[in-house]
Structure 1
Amino acid sequence: MKTCAIVILNYNGKEMLRRFLPSICQHSSFDIWVIDNASEDDSIAILTRDFTQVKLIQLSENFGYAGGYNWGLHQLKDQYEFYLLVNSDVEVTSGWDSSLIDFLYQNSDYAAVQPKILSALHRDFFDYAGGAGGFLDSLYYPYCRGRIWNEIEQDQGQYDDSLEVDWASGACFALRAKSFHEIGGFDAHFFAHMEEIDLCLRWRRIGWKIGFTAESTVFHLGGATLDRASPKKLYLNIRNSLSMIYKNEKTVKFWLIFIAKAGMEFAAVLGYLFSGKVELSKAVFSGYRDFLTSRNLIEKTISSESIPKKKGPVDLIFWNFMILGKKYFHEL
């Protein structure tokens, strides 16, 4: 069995491949694979012509982030001890991959670890998607060291450490292949967004830890597939967040969280309407509607007595950010 497969998921990402794949080829120690989600652009031609060292898995249709990785990694099962999943819009640095794998070798109780993720556009600032490790509050709102809501910190070495976190960013993280397959991989129902947080919750439920290490640094462009402000992304985040909580909380606790989140998010709908962002308001309603109509198809992963303890430093990130004015992680 080989040590690690670096695996990039691609869908119509020819420009991202041209821009970012050279750094991965230059700075990586392990096999590089691209899983292609039935791209309709020139991605395959570019890969076969310009990146002959990259191994290719071609899928029959676009299965999204969750399904695409599930189908692709199934073809690599039992070939590698670790996977290192990285978005197609990520630039890497020297030693990025070996540092992550070393962390997992040295910490046998960790299922996954993410690097420090900085912005590819503003390289001395943290990236929105993951920063320096992710946490959850009591309503399961995610936030990061380096990013709370839309407030992003400058990297001044304040998070140059290693520690246990609640979740690792899907933009770039290393994981144990066996633990991924044993838990059934990503929830393909999610299609895209929140699936890595759900995966980490399910790992933590059975005793695994999730880590961050600043020994590895990457730069993430973000928004290569869906812009952060797009209605589709908002819809997926709303629907998938509710699905994730439903799976991972007892029924009574879930509906209490549901009511609290609905109150906050429908207040945001009013803001969207007043500012003329009608499509965003529709996305919130659609997310709630589709969760409610499909929740009976969601398999709950919780036993009656087992709830994962969230490790975030605050109970309500909204209260701390909006009311108390705490914009940075060190203020929490």
Structure 2
Amino acid sequence: MLEKTTSAKPLVSVIILNYNTFQLTLDCVASIKKHTPLNVSVEYIIVDNASANNEGVALENTFQNQDDCKVLRSQINLGFGAGNVLGSQQAKGHYFAFINSDVLFTEDCFSEMVAFMKSHTDAGVCGIQILDGDGRKTISHRPFEGVRYKLFGRKFLYRTDARIIKINADLKMPTQVDFVIGSFIFFSAKAYRECGGFDPNIFLYYEEFDLCYRLKKLGYKTFFLPQLNYVHLEGKSGGINRLMEKEHLLSYLYVVRKNLGFFKFWIIKNFLLFTYIYKAPFKPKYRPLLKFLLFRGESLSHSLRHQQKQLERD
């Protein structure tokens, strides 16, 4: 059984980004509190990412009398990476839990996750099974998307490397994987700080690929714990559109070049370019990506990050 820490330092720091998801954020915090036992001390750091309609003020008013909750208000939408950096700078826990606002706990997750991390000192981060709003299992971990993955697909990757765990494998025990999905990702605070934390250059997408790859280079492992579940109301905190598809492409190419090197980046970029050229005449959805990559390139100067406007201070 976990023992409650006797110091003012909490066991777990929960960091939640709010971006126009006021009610989802309230529901998320309430579900965590409902299912977390009193002997697991938790602090909640909520970062409002320049939401509309004074949601940051509303969050401050809601949590102002709750000593375990702190609200940080950014005057500009920092994106996922930098927003979590802002929150983690205020975190004091032994473990950091970065949780999307559209997540709901249905059981006590922290007790087993902390116990596992304590007994596996080489574990830098872990994740658990994601359920959709209807209670069905969804993809919760993935392989690194390198050259073999992009050129030949996941099945080829599985056949050529037995160490790669299939995304739909029926796992019963904690298992080492490449990276876990970032809607709820649980770090050793020591490992998180050692790898440098979230890359603020990434506005959206592939943050967990980047983090888990950097942790791997430092000798830490990423684990998936299939015996625990949480609900992710995917899409509630942000929809997918053409701008997001372009952001997805930019983030992927940035993470590949940063972590896998220029040669693999060059192969993947040109493979994607030729794929878009081949498919665009028959599938219109590829035409914007082809035009974007062909004429604007992969530079993060085209990221949505640079289109954010600062809010006026109160």
Instruction: Report TM bin, short chain.
Output: 0.7 to 0.9
CA contact (8 A) 2:144 2:209 kept: no
Q: For the residues of structure 1 that align with 2:80 and 2:251, how far apart are their CA atoms?
A: 13
Equivalent residue for 1:26, pick from 34, 46, 55: 34
Q: Residues 294 and 91 (structure 1 numbering): CA distance in 2 closer, same or farther, change over 3 Å?
A: closer
Q: CA deviation at 1:75?
A: 2.3
Q: For the residues of structure 1 that align with 2:287 and 2:33, how far apart are their CA atoms?
A: 42
CA contact (8 A) 1:160 1:214 kept: yes
Q: Residues 185 and 22 (structure 1 numbering): CA distance in 2 closer, same or farther, change over 3 Å?
A: same
Q: For the residues of structure 2 that align with 1:2 and 1:22, how far apart are their CA atoms?
A: 18
Q: Residues 67 and 288 (structure 1 numbering): CA distance in 2 closer, same or farther, change over 3 Å?
A: farther
What does residue 5 of structure 1 align with? 13
SS of the equivalent of 1:80 reads coil
Q: For the residues of structure 2 that align with 1:289 and 1:180, how far apart are their CA atoms?
A: 37
Q: CA deviation at 1:254?
A: 2.6
1:166-197 alpha-carbon deviations (Å, 9 max, x no partner): 11211001002222222222121111111121
CA contact (8 A) 2:18 2:47 kept: yes
Aligned residues: 272
SS of the equivalent of 1:189 reads coil
CA contact (8 A) 1:33 1:55 kept: yes
SS of the equivalent of 2:266 reads helix
Equivalent residue for 2:270, pick from 253, 259, 265: 259
What does residue 248 of structure 2 align with? 237
Q: For the residues of structure 1 that align with 2:294 and 2:222, how far apart are their CA atoms?
A: 29
**How big is the alpha-carbon RMSD for the aligned residues of Structure 1 and Structure 2?**
2.8
Residue 204 in 1 paired to residue 212 in 2?
A: no
Equivalent residue for 1:57, pick from 72, 75, 83: 72
SS of the equivalent of 2:179 reads coil
Equivalent residue for 1:176, pick from 188, 192, 195: 188
Residue 166 in 1 paired to residue 191 in 2?
A: no
CA contact (8 A) 2:35 2:105 kept: yes
Gaps of 5+ in 1: 144-154, 296-332
Q: Residues 289 and 21 (structure 1 numbering): CA distance in 2 closer, same or farther, change over 3 Å?
A: farther
SS of the equivalent of 2:14 reads strand
Residue 188 in 1 paired to residue 200 in 2?
A: yes
1:201-241 alpha-carbon deviations (Å, 9 max, x no partner): 1111221111100232100011123324x112211111111
Farther-moved stretch of structure 1 (30-39 vs 107-116) = 30-39
Normalization by structure 2: what TM-score? 0.77
CA contact (8 A) 1:80 1:177 kept: yes
